[in-house]
Amino acid sequence: MMNGGQPQGGQPQGDQPKESIKIAGQYAVTPIQQTQDGNQFVEMELPDGEVAPVFGDWESYGNPDQEGRIEDLDYRIYPLGDGTYALDAGEMESEMLREENREFARDTQGGPGASRMEDLLEKLTQSKGMGQMPGGGMRPVKR
């Protein structure tokens, strides 16, 4: 039975989760759906074969296609105690940050004739516009 007042991921209300599990997106048996209250969920086949709703911000974390099917990634979910589950939004945020850091580190690996420090400075300059004005010119330095 679905409860319209489920959280959109994150920590459950009350006690800490009993045991979270990782489940692949390929086990989603329905596209993203919404309760009358606007809470998103997907029905997922759990490791024991049971199909249960998993609530969470699937639009943000599931990278859905046009039909609303979530991407086949590993998702950490935890039971809410009423036969439903919730997406662990904190774990998803951490994973997204780890992936951004890995990409940043890959992009700053020394190129031909450049040190890692030079690559890092170049990457920071490109991503932050370090020392540049919006028009592309350099900011004057006050001395």
Shared domain for 78 and 27, answered yes or no, is: yes
CATH number of domain containing 35: 2.40.50
Residue 12 lies in a domain: no
Question: Do 73 and 113 reside in the same domain of the chain?
Answer: no
Give residue for tokens 């993203």.
32
Q: 98 and 46 share a domain?
A: no
pTM, 2 dp? 0.59
CA distance 76 to 66: 23
Helix (H, G, I), strand (E, B), or coil: what is residue 21?
A: strand
Q: In this structure, are 54 and 69 located in the same domain? A: yes
Write out pLDDT tens, residues 45-81. Answer: 999 999 999 999 999 889 899 999 999 999 999 999 9
DSSP label at residue 112: T
d(CA 90, CA 9) in angstroms, rounded, equals 8
Name the amino acid, one letter, at 81.
G
Tell me, what's the pLDDT at 18?
61
Q: Is the pLDDT of residue 12 over 50?
A: no
pLDDT, residue 125, reads 76
Sheet with 33-34, strands from edge to edge, namely 21-24, 74-79, 85-87, 51-55, 40-45, 33-34
Residues 42, 28 contacting (CB under 8 angstroms): yes
| Residue 54 belongs to a domain | yes
Range of the domain at 39: 21-89
Contact by Cβ (8 Å): 75, 41: no
Give the residue from 26, 32, 87, 25 showing the smallest Cα distance to 54.
87
